[in-house]
A and B are shown apart, each in its own frame.
Chain A
Amino acid sequence: MRKPVSAFAVHAVLALYTALALFPIILVIMNSFKAKRAIFNTPLTPPMPWNFDPIGYSKVFGDSAIATYYMNSITVTVGTIFLTLLFGAMAAWALTEYKFRWNTALAIFLSIGIMVPIRLGSVSIIQLVSDLNLINTLTALILVYVAQNLPLAVFILSEFIQQIPRDLREAGRCDGLSEYNIFFYIILPLLRPAMATVAVFTMIPVWNDLWFPLLLAPTGGKQTITLGVQQFLGQYITDWNAVLAALSTAIIPVLVLYVIFSRQLIRGLTSGAVK
Chain B
Amino acid sequence: MADVKIGNLHKSYGTVEVLKDINLQVEDGAFVVLVGPSGCGKSTLLRSIAGLEPITSGAISIGGRNVSDLAPAQREIAMVFQSYALYPHMNVENNMAFGLKFAGVPKAEIADRVNEAARILQLEPLLKRRPRELSGGQRQRVAIGRAIVRHPKVFLFDEPLSNLDAALRINTRVEIARLHKLLKATIVYVTHDQVEAMTLADKIVVMNKGRVEQVGKPLELYYRPANLFVARFIGSPAMNTLAATLDGKGKAAAVAGVSLPLPAAVSGTGEITIGFRPEHCSIGKTGIPARVELVERLGETGYVHARTADGAALLVEVKGDPGLAQGAEVRVAPAAGHLHLFDGEGVRLAGT
Q: Do the beta carbons of B99 and A167 come within 8 Å of each other?
A: no
Which residue of the partner chain A has the closest CB to B164? A275
Verify B85–A272 contact, CB threshold 8 A. no
A272 to B133, CA, bound (A): 7
A175 touches B (CB below 8 Å): yes
From residue 53 to 84 of chain A, which have CB atoms closer than 8 A to chain B? none
Report whether A272 and B99 are in contact in the complex, using a CB–CB cutoff of 8 Å: no
- B52 to chain A: which residues have CB within 8 Å? 170, 173-174
Query: Within the complex, what minimum Cβ distance (angstroms) separates A271 from chain B?
Result: 5
Contacts of B78 in A (CB 8 A): 174
Whether the Cβ atoms of A175 and B89 lie closer than 8 Å is no
Query: B73–A176 contact, CB under 8 A?
Result: yes
Which residues from A are CB-within-8-Å of B83?
Answer: 165, 167, 273-275
Interface residues in B42-84 (C-beta closer than 8 Å to A): 50-52, 71-74, 77-79, 81-84
Tell me how many residues of B have a C-beta within 8 Å of chain A. 33
The CA of A34 and the CA of B216, in the complex, are separated in Å by 91
Known contacts A167-B82, A271-B132, A275-B83; is-contact A175 B88 (Cβ 8 Å): no
**Interface check B163, CB cutoff 8 A:** yes
Min CB gap B178→A, angstroms: 23
With a cutoff of 8 Å between Cβ atoms, the chain B residues found around residue A274 in the complex are 83-86
B81 touches A271 (CB 8 A): no
Q: Is the CB of A174 within 8 A of B79?
A: yes
Complexed CA–CA distance, A270 and B132 (Å)? 8
Is the Cβ of B102 less than 8 Å from the Cβ of A272?
A: no
Contacting residues, chain B, for A272 (C-beta < 8 A) = 86, 88, 130-134, 139
Contacts of A130 in B (CB 8 A): none
With the chains together, A270 CA to B98 CA distance in Å?
A: 17
User: Which chain B residue has the least Cβ–Cβ distance from A186?
Assistant: B87
Residue numbers in A under 8 Å from B139 (CB-CB): 272
Which one of A174, A186, A189, A269 contacts B73 once the chains associate, using CB atoms below 8 Å? Answer: A174
Chain A neighbourhood of B136, CB < 8 A: 275
Bound-state CA distance A182–B67 (Å) is: 22
The answer to whether A170 and B98 have CB atoms under 8 Å apart is no
- Cβ 8 A contact of A173, one of B71, B89, B130, B163: B71
- Taking CB atoms, residues of chain B closer than 8 Å to A260 are none
Complex Cα–Cα for A275 and B164 (A): 8
Selected from A176, A190, A271, A275, the residue in CB contact (under 8 A) with B163 is A275
Known contacts A275-B83, A275-B136; is-contact A270 B88 (Cβ 8 Å): yes
- Chain A residues with a Cβ under 8 A of chain B: 165, 167-168, 170-171, 173-177, 181, 185-186, 189-190, 268-275
B interface residues (Cβ-Cβ under 8 A, vs A): 50-52, 71-74, 77-79, 81-89, 98-99, 102-103, 130-134, 136, 139, 146, 150, 163
> Which 4 pairs from chain A and chain B are nearest by CB?
A272-B132, A175-B99, A176-B73, A167-B85
Q: Can you list 10 pairs linking A and B with CB atoms under 8 Å apart?
A: A165-B85, A170-B50, A171-B146, A175-B99, A269-B88, A272-B134, A273-B132, A274-B83, A274-B86, A275-B136
